[in-house]
Amino acid sequence: MLQILKRELPSGYVRFAIRFSAALLVLLVIYKTYLWFTEQKEDLDWITYQVSFLSHKFAVALGIADCEFSCFMDGCRIGVEGKMINVLEGCNGIKLAFVYIAYLVGVNENTRSTIIQSIVGLMLIQLFNVFRIGMLVMLMYHGGEVYFFFIKYIFGVFIYGSIIVLWLIKPLIDKSLQRYVQT
Amino acid sequence: MKYLLVTLSLLISVGAVAQQKKDKPVMDNWFAKKPTAPPPASPPPPPNVPLDGGLIGLIAAGGAVGYKKYKDRKKED
């Protein structure tokens, strides 16, 4: 079976797949352990809190002056009374960043480039998530069917599509980074 | 005197039987206030805004992009 796989798959792919899976597993185990500890302390995890807090600030900046913000053990509620949204652990976008980083580790052609791209990617995904939740609070406030359309299609397609495009253009980013480091 | 004692003991026993039992619901009592309408339903919880719904799809996409990358490299070689 392994021989057939080795023959059929391009060289280096098995190595990539193992590194990709291992990196993802390690990141998820660390994250789950952290979540377990915060649960034991009967506290909300720091990432969800920060994402919710910044989203609230962004929603206020968008013009929702009476936007409320309250946190519980399982997540935070943001919005105007009666038109709130619930930001839970699964909404913080960190798992998407883990998959993005795991791919970079799997390919790993240049350690420095991988580290830079991981940090920048993580920050970009989190910034987009803050923008997404802030916009959803605003759409919920103004009501209408647009909210459901955005949450179901627009934001999902955009973030998942962006991650795949970043993976595809990784060789170009590597080249640009190398040029930048050399100069 | 005998009749008076019998009447008194009957009245006391009827009163004692008519008392509300601890383990019986209040509804059995004639004087208990019966509920007229069900309590108002609590408002629905606010909607969640999950982002990791397509995580498995993204992992599969990562595998596919990696496959394409190594296949293209094989062609170049």
* pLDDT tens digit sequence for A40-84: 999 999 999 999 999 999 999 998 888 999 999 889 999 998 889
Closest A-chain CA to B62:
A103
Task: For residue A13, list chain B residues with Cβ-Cβ distance below 8 A.
Answer: 66-67, 70-71
Mark yes or no for CB contact A106/B62 under 8 Å.
yes
> Per residue of chain A (183 residues), what is the pLDDT tens digit?
777 777 778 878 999 999 999 999 999 999 999 999 999 999 999 999 999 999 999 999 998 888 999 999 889 999 998 889 999 999 999 999 999 999 999 998 778 889 999 999 999 999 999 999 999 999 988 876 788 888 888 999 999 999 999 999 998 988 888 887 666
pLDDT tens column, B37-72: 777 777 788 888 888 888 999 999 999 999 999 888
Task: Measure A180 CA to nearest chain B CA, in Å.
Answer: 24
Contacts within 8 Å (CB) and 24+ apart, A8-12: A9/B67, A9/B70, A10/B67, A10/B70, A10/B71, A10/B73, A10/B74, A11/B70, A11/B74, A12/B70, A12/B73
User: What are the extents of the domains in chain A?
Assistant: 10-41+90-182
- Is residue A117 within 8 A of residue A178, CB to CB? The reply is no
Is ipTM strictly over 0.90? Answer: no
In the structure, what pLDDT confidence band is assigned to residue B25 with cuts at 50, 70 and 90?
A: low
